[in-house]
Amino acid sequence: CRFSQMLHPIFEEASNVIKEEYPDKNQVVFARVDCDQHSDIAQRYRISKYPTLKLFRNGMMMKREYRGQRSVTAIADYIRQQKSNPIRDVQDLEEISSLDRSRRNIIGYFEEKDSDNYRTFERVANILHDDCVFLSAVGAISKAERFSGDNVIYKPPGENAPDMVYLGSLTNFDLIYAWTQDKCVPLVREITFENGEELTEEGLPFLILFHMKDDLESLEKFQQEVARQLISEKGTINFLHADCDKFRHPLLHIQKTPADCPVIAIDSFRHMYVFPDFSDLSLPGKLKQFVLDLHSGKLHREFHHGPDPTDVAPGQPIQDLASSPPESSFQKLAPSEHRYTLLREKDEL
């Protein structure tokens, strides 16, 4: 790969720069993988474009890969930023009352930093600091909040949203990480031009609500039904919402315009499938069946061959679809030689 060959000396020089700043080999490790020789590794981490720079922490691959400039300075600066403390120290509990409540805040109250509780909290913050703001109050200033020992709370977005307290073991990394990830990464995320490629690289199809930016009622209904009907499908499909005005192009793929919003669709990265009627969203099991029909192949099959015979009433002719199903729109963000196409269309909208 010509681009990999171009990056190789830059990557190596950046590793030498960082090695001088962090001589302890356990602090930062630079590694190269030949994906022709180690296709199993490439497959495990869904590497399909070259070169790809992935960041790992504590053995876990971070979902945001490095997409900055391919220069020694930029890569070294990225590592320095990653090594910075992800936790902001609170000097006075009054600071908590003035937090930015548009953000997701995780606050830890600890007797001391030199403790297993704090070190576990720090590990979690290192992994999820892009999704949440992490703060800590340590020592005497946190005493009022430690009447039952060290603790961690979550302050969700919204001025009147109630706090949530972590009730598990503070030294159990798996437990506190799962709890924090659940709070920091919402079940239904917004897809934007900035994170579209990143979401695509997670490798899961999209269930998307297209809605007008100020139509919060439709978004709330969608969030409620996803939580009610599809929580068991988390990990098999990404639940997303998108601004109809910004994403006119994907709507055109399914012959819709912002005037038709709200619209629900699945993008499988092969085709886009439209949920028949938004007003059916709250019908028990309707949205779940739509997703199950994707997994079973029914949506793809019916797009090409018409309704399954078992779904056609006696005497009703089977529909013959002469036209092709709408192609995926977000596949243009997926790893391929065309991966920047949709991003460029941003300027034309």
Domain with 145 in it: what CATH number?
A: 3.40.30.10
Tell me the per-residue pLDDT of 122-163, one tens digit each, with 9 for 90 and over. Answer: 999 998 988 899 999 999 999 999 988 999 999 998 888 899
With 0.85 as the threshold, say if the pTM is over it. Answer: no
Q: Do 197 and 301 sit in the same domain of this protein? A: yes
CB 89, CB 139: distance < 8 Å: no
Q: Do 224 and 323 sit in the same domain of this protein? A: yes
Q: Do 205 and 257 sit in the same domain of this protein? A: yes
In a domain, 344, yes or no: no
In a domain, 26, yes or no: yes
Q: Do 112 and 197 sit in the same domain of this protein? A: no
- CA distances 269 to 27, 122, 286, 289, Å, are 38, 37, 22, 19
Domain with 203 in it: 189-334
Q: 152-174 burial, b if ≥16 CB within 10 A, otherwise e? A: bbbbeeeeeeeeeebeeebeebe
In one letter, which amino acid is 315? G
Question: Can you spell out the DSSP letters for 31-85?
Answer: ----TTT-HHHHHHTT--SSS----EETTEE-SS---S-SSHHHHHHHHHHHHS-
In a domain, 281, yes or no: yes
Tell me the per-residue pLDDT of 267-299, one tens digit each, with 9 for 90 and over. Answer: 988 889 999 999 999 899 999 999 999 988 899
Considering 83, 106, 140, which residue would you say is the last residue of a domain? Answer: 83
pLDDT score at 253: 87
In a domain, 340, yes or no: no
pLDDT score at 111: 96
In a domain, 342, yes or no: no
Considering 83, 106, 130, which residue would you say is the last residue of a domain? Answer: 83
* Total domains present in the chain: 3
In a domain, 266, yes or no: yes
Q: Do 13 and 79 sit in the same domain of this protein? A: yes
